[in-house]
Amino acid sequence: MSGIFLMSSILLALAVHLVLSVRRARKRVGNQPGRTFFLAAANILANFFPRVKYINTGLNWGFLEKHDIFAKHGQDVLSLTGIYPYPQVDILLADAGAVKEVTTCRARFPKPIEQYGVLGFFGGNIIVSEGNRWKKYRKISAPAFSDRNNKLVWEEAAQITEDMIEEIWHNGEIVHVNNFLEVTLPIALFVIGVAGFGKRMSWEDEEIPEDHSMTLKQALHVVTTDFIVRILLPNWALSLTRRFRLVRESFDELKQYMNEMIKERRNAPNLIRHDLFSNFIEANDDDGRAVLDEDEIVGNIFMFLVAGHETTAHTLCFTFALLALYPDEQEKVFRQINSLMPRGRKPSYNEMPNFTYSMAVFYETLRMFPPVNFIPKSAAEDTSLSTTNNNGQPTTLPIPKGTNVTILVPALHYNPRYWKDPHSFKPQRFLEDWPRDAFLPFSAGPRACIGRKFFETEGIAILITLVSKYKISVKEEPQFAHETFEERKARVLKTTTGFTLCPVRVPLTFTRRR
């Protein structure tokens, strides 16, 4: 009996200690309202297991919640309290003013690079660094994303899409695609191949080079589609199944290819190329002395590859899904394209700014389906944030040193304070005066996406090439014959989350324009 009493007393003492610890943690951030879960949001288990009320946030929660959690509490700064492994209170932001302050003040709110350490398996890179190391990577990376590289992206993206229409679709009058992601992924891969590495790939099978077990195209495909496997699993686990072994082999092969390309570029210094890899190696040469070592070059190029491939492929897939669901918007895109490039004339890279409605559609897609749902920051010192309270009055929120501050991008993008009728697909809003501080698909401030123009150029080139030739509609399937528009919309735009926000299945039909 005494043993039971002792155990009960210990459990009660632990419970009281836990409650008091949570209260102290919440008090330090001004008792900001919000939600509490057993698993802290930073705990990887919280993000990769299904949502359980009061236990964990669950997969894809930021996109599924959007602005609802903020609307419920009537304000755009909330707390997210986690109990395990220790009481922790994170701050969630959907306030554009507070977001601008956080993204602009890099010294006060640096990136918590400890959360990104797993992305450094090839070497130090711009994603997993801060301070002087980040400045060094940024200085060398910026010139690589040059206008001459963007021109190459434009030309190759359009040509690769043309080749796909001819070689895979055989210029068909009507083409049914079971999942359009199976089209956008290889197109984005081929663009990365030539504009990123100077390696043109074919839609046909290729021969495996000597001293390799797979082609560069095969290695890139596995690495970009199964990247999340490499992140989540320790090295020893990569030998457990055939799929995992293929992932490990693909990463090894890609690293070997990149090391070979570094040697090739260095042995041919007078070879003029405009691909990202060549530009990066050229920018790394400081009066004959390499600023970065080989692992750092590979690490940075690899992160550009992964970030550029998946985000482009997924965003394009969502874009065409929306155009299929909203034919009136699709017609506006086509009419402008047809007026700018009649009789199938190919536009030049310099004409890209003229395709304003295509860009508006692209931006509206990014607003509704931001590739990255969370932008994490951490307070480097005891500081504060300016925001507004429930009554709309200016207020100051205390942010203790070490507090995680997370920008919830979908909440910002669906915040009715900044976007009228935010759940509706309205590209026109980006042709008018729009709230730039409330649009963060590329992050913002000094750490904004360095490859933004590369990404936009590729996307617009592919978009106008396909829309100029084909009318897009949702593929008719017997099992969905009686669904309502809202049911169809929910099905076609259903999402999941891997490395970035991903469409589940987008079945489309392409009908040749006349």
Could you read off the pLDDT of 175-203 as tens digits, one per residue? 999 999 989 988 988 888 888 777 777 77
**The residue count for the chain:** 514
Instruction: Give the least confident one: 275-279, 372-376, 493-497.
Output: 275-279
Select from 500, 511, 513, 512 the least CA-distant residue to 188: 500
Domain co-membership, 382 together with 368:
no
- Averaged pLDDT, 377-401: 84
Q: What is the CA radius of gyration of the chain?
A: 25
CA 420 – CA 440 distance, rounded (Å): 17
- Averaged pLDDT, 4-25: 67
The tens digit of pLDDT for each residue in 138-163 reads 887 887 788 888 898 999 999 999 99
Cα 486 from chain centroid (whole Å): 26
- Averaged pLDDT, 417-445: 95
Average pLDDT, the chain: 84
Domain co-membership, 139 together with 61:
no
Query: Mapping DSSP to helix (H, G, I), strand (E, B) and coil, where does residue 84 land?
Result: strand
Select from 364, 429, 410, 415 the least CA-distant residue to 387: 415
Domain co-membership, 36 together with 178:
no
pLDDT(417) > 80: yes
Domain co-membership, 225 together with 211:
yes
Instruction: Give the least confident one: 68-77, 222-231, 410-419.
Output: 222-231
Instruction: Give the least confident one: 235-239, 414-418, 467-471, 497-501.
Output: 497-501
Residue 326: predicted pLDDT: 98
Structural domain harbouring 294: 131-372+441-512
- Averaged pLDDT, 402-428: 95
Total number of domains constituting the chain: 2
Domain co-membership, 107 together with 190:
no
Residue 147: predicted pLDDT: 85
Assign 287 a pLDDT band (cuts: 50, 70, 90).
Answer: low
19: in domain: no
Residue 496: predicted pLDDT: 84
Residue 165: predicted pLDDT: 95
Tokens read off for 505: 């299945």
Residue 269: predicted pLDDT: 58
Domain co-membership, 221 together with 278:
yes
Count CB-CB contacts under 10 A for residue 115.
Answer: 14
Consult the annotation and say whether 105 binds a ligand.
no
With tokens 């079945």, the residue in question is: 507
Name which residue leads in pLDDT, 55 or 324.
324
Tokens read off for 161: 């899409």
CATH of the domain at 302: 1.10.630.10
Select from 197, 201, 177 the least CA-distant residue to 187: 201
Q: Which residues sit opposite 92 in a β-bridge?
A: 78, 406
pLDDT(511) > 90: yes
Alpha helices per DSSP H over 386-497: 409-413, 452-469, 485-492
CA 426 – CA 437 distance, rounded (Å): 18
The tens digit of pLDDT for each residue in 21-53 reads 667 666 676 677 878 777 766 555 555 566 777
CA 216 – CA 224 distance, rounded (Å): 12
Which phi and psi (to 5°) does residue 374 adopt?
Answer: -125, 135
CB 418 within 8 A of CB 433: no
41: in domain: yes
Single pTM value for the model: 0.89
498: in domain: yes
496: in domain: yes
Domain co-membership, 200 together with 288:
yes
Domain co-membership, 303 together with 394:
no
Residue 461: predicted pLDDT: 95
Domain co-membership, 67 together with 80:
yes
CA 456 – CA 150 distance, rounded (Å): 9
Query: With pLDDT > 70 as the criterion, what percentage of the chain qualifies?
Result: 87
What letter does residue 284 receive in the DSSP assignment?
A: T
